[in-house]
Structure 1
Amino acid sequence: MSKLRLAAEDITAGYGESDILEKLNFEVPAGKVTAIVGANACGKSTLLRTLSRLLTPRSGRVMLDGKAIHKMPTKALARRLGLLPQSPLAPEGITVADLVSRGRHPHQGTFGGWTKADDEAIATALETTKTDTLADRAVDELSGGQRQRVWIAMVLAQQTDMLLLDEPTTFLDISHQVEVLDLLTDLNRKNNTTIVMVLHDLNLAARYADHLVAMRAGKLHIAGSPEEVLTEAMVRDVFALESRIISDPVSGRPMMVPIGRHYSNSDR
């Protein structure tokens, strides 16, 4: 896959009369896994929605390979950029195969016409996400982890070079969180797919991301490698939490241990 350049240039965006992002600049590292972290209401999802054209900035612009995405035809953008929003909703009773096939819509011509390439893309997406055995089942009958993999399969069927995912592990138990993040890492390593995701778990973000972005009050507080970003100072500034940073015994990446009011070394 080719490497796309996606960048927010001096964007201000929000809802109603409130601005959430203020004159924010951000470029997505091509071919990397980027995780965006931060406290609730800091602007993480607003940034992702603006990058994906779900939200139009009040000022500034989002550029994809030198073109303003808000001026691009919808299908042309969807062939290059895949989005998995928070808590997506599937039509009642739709099967897994039917939902995943909707990922091929951007590739259909004016007069439709299903091709062998469409069948192959769907089969590959189902196999990659290990949902091929679920193809004939109704989506609303599946577990949370299965449904999330099906949604990812639909986005994969678009065959885009870049995926934006808003909290892809929310509401999943830890085993399914790891399963989803392993899948996204596989896509990045095998296909060079650029991944940008909003995550709540700092330690999973540090383990899986090549590039970590911490947001605070609608601005980028710090960005860089997990080692550069996940520090005691960042956790204090962004989350108002005292912590200790240790080495993750599995990945060797930094790992955050929170300090509460009731437990410390002096209690032992």
Structure 2
Amino acid sequence: MTTSHSLAAEGLTLGYGDRAVIASLDLAVPPGRITVIVGANACGKSTLLRSLSRLLAPREGRVVLDGREVHRMPAKELARTLGLLPQSPVAPEGITVLDLVCRGRHPHQGAFSRWNARDDAAVAAALEATRTTGLADRAVDELSGGQRQRVWIAMALAQQTDLLLLDEPTTFLDASHQIDVLDLLTDLNRTRGTTIVMVLHDLNLAARYADHLIALADGRLHACGTPSEVLTEECVRTVFNLESRVIEDPVSGRPLMLPIGRHHVRAAPPAASGR
């Protein structure tokens, strides 16, 4: 269970070259919950996730896991606690689905430990959960975009970490498979207590599945809290430069954002003629 793990950013400033992307950001990830990061394109969502997983070193500040700076932890030790599914990962040419998913067990292998029945069970469970068992012998580069995405998620699940970070895990998936993946992650959170942090583009899916919502704007934390606290018309206007109406989702009871386009505002009926 991950209620014993804490992940936080303290005074985090991130960037590439001369360009700053995230500035002086402080946040704490609620343990054992589902956190979703939202924001406009190029606001720093993926950059933040990369730093939380130590793929990107901060210019200032630090990322702390259980009181230790992640950038000072041994890579394999960190990988046994924290897993990452990056955006648009690339598989080695010709690798099969089974071999790729088995790589999720690498952090659990050591000089004195060899592949065992527990590893087999973890891989089989990950394939079954993502409905990719039937693809096990296929080459990854022969699969459709949606199939590949489910295979990458299977690899992340096989790692069996207490914290799981995912950058746009519903990319390439149709509506049905998006719901399948988000339901799967919710089940993982509810049954194992896995702390999940993910980036999603779809605000309404974010509001439906998140326990904790983080909204970024121009590299800064604009709002964080429950979906009802964060997904407001003011937030959508500020973060996305979009006018909207936010109502209660009749299915989930969570906030539901209805965008207002310039050409879809209901016009007033014509005035009645006096004739």
TM-score by length of 2: 0.94
Report the equivalent of 1:125.
126
SS of corresponding position for 1:46: helix
The sequence identity of aligned pairs, in percent, is 71
TM-score by length of 1: 0.96
Report the equivalent of 1:199.
200
Q: Where does 1:111-260 land on structure 2 (aligned, <5 Å)?
A: 113-260=114-261
Amino acid at match of 2:141: D
How far the C-alpha of 1:267 sits from its partner, in A, is 6.1
SS of corresponding position for 1:221: strand
Amino acid at match of 1:177: Q
Deviating more after overlay: 69-78 vs 171-180: 171-180
Structure possessing the higher radius of gyration over alpha carbons: 2
CA distance in 2, matches of 1:39, 1:110: 45
Amino acid at match of 1:57: P
Amino acid at match of 2:11: D
Amino acid at match of 1:130: R
Deviating more after overlay: 8-17 vs 122-131: 122-131
Amino acid at match of 2:108: H
Amino acid at match of 1:49: R
Name the count of aligned residue pairs.
Answer: 268
Report the equivalent of 1:38.
39
How far the C-alpha of 1:249 sits from its partner, in A, is 1.9
Report the equivalent of 2:57.
56
Amino acid at match of 1:2: T
1:10-69 CA-partner distances (Å, limit 9, x unpaired): 111110011111110011111111110001111111110110001000111100001110
1:15 aligns with 2:12: no
CA distance in 1, matches of 2:231, 2:155: 32
Deviating more after overlay: 112-121 vs 187-196: 112-121
CA distance in 1, matches of 2:180, 2:139: 21
Amino acid at match of 1:161: D
CA distance in 1, matches of 2:77, 2:262: 52
CA distance in 2, matches of 1:215, 1:69: 22
CA distance in 2, matches of 1:67, 1:267: 60
| Aligned CA distance change for structure 1 residues 136 and 259 (closer, same or farther; 3 Å) | same
CA distance in 2, matches of 1:124, 1:64: 27
SS of corresponding position for 2:2: coil
SS of corresponding position for 2:58: coil
Amino acid at match of 2:82: L
Computed over aligned residues only, the root mean square deviation of the Cα atoms, in angstroms, reads 1.3
CA distance in 1, matches of 2:258, 2:126: 37
Q: Does the Cα contact within 8 Å between 2:2 and 2:163 map onto a contact in 1? A: no
CA distance in 1, matches of 2:118, 2:226: 38
Report the equivalent of 2:2.
2
CA distance in 2, matches of 1:153, 1:89: 15
How far the C-alpha of 1:141 sits from its partner, in A, is 2.1
Report the equivalent of 2:273.
none
Report the equivalent of 1:89.
90
| Aligned CA distance change for structure 1 residues 93 and 14 (closer, same or farther; 3 Å) | same
Question: Which segments of structure 1 move beyond 3 Å, counting only runs of 4 or more?
Answer: none
Amino acid at match of 1:43: G
Amino acid at match of 1:254: P
CA distance in 2, matches of 1:114, 1:243: 53
